[in-house]
Amino acid sequence: MVDFDTIAARLVTETEEAIIYATRDGIIRLWNGGSEKLFGYTAGEALGKSLDIIIPEKHRKAHWDGWDRVMESGETRYGSEPLNVPGIRADGSKMSLEFSITILKDDSGKIEGVAAFLRDVTANWDEKKALRIRIKELERQIEGQ
């Protein structure tokens, strides 16, 4: 029989989904293979770095403001509701991400950090954007008749 720790480790390493764990100060301490594929950084390049490496510069203030609120309150709605945000790859290219998080606390209830589960939804986002544009074009055509 396989023990829980072995199963948990295999889930983290073998899943295609990006899993990142960051300490309460936003330093990356876990970066799985899915994260390597998604963002283009190896674990060696990402571990010990700030989450800033995957957050577009113009969105960092909003990210850290939200992060600070979560660290202060210990609560987030993004454990049950996925959040869509922009992300940035190692090569500088941008993408649309969907993610959910789990706040991890020690035995006394103090927040130790956050685990995030991320996926690239760029293609879906682009399709929806193109569809909205097409709908507006058709509405203008109908109004012009």
- Whether the per-residue pLDDT at 112 is higher than 80: the answer is yes
Q: Is the dihedral of CA 61, 63, 66, 71 positive or negative?
A: negative
Give the chain's mean pLDDT.
Answer: 90
**High-pLDDT (> 70) share of the chain, %:** 92
Q: What is the pLDDT of residue 11?
A: 86
Tokens matching residue 97: 């991400």
pLDDT tens sequence across 52-105: 999 999 999 999 999 999 999 988 876 667 888 999 999 999 999 999 999 999
Q: What is the pLDDT of residue 94?
A: 95
Q: Domains in the chain, please, with CATH? A: 4-143 (3.30.450.20)
Q: Rounded distance, CA 20 to CA 116, Å? A: 5
Encode 5-66 in three state secondary structure.
HHHHHHHHHHCCCEEEEEECCCEEEEECHHHHHHHCCCHHHHCCCEHHHHCCHHHHHHHHHH
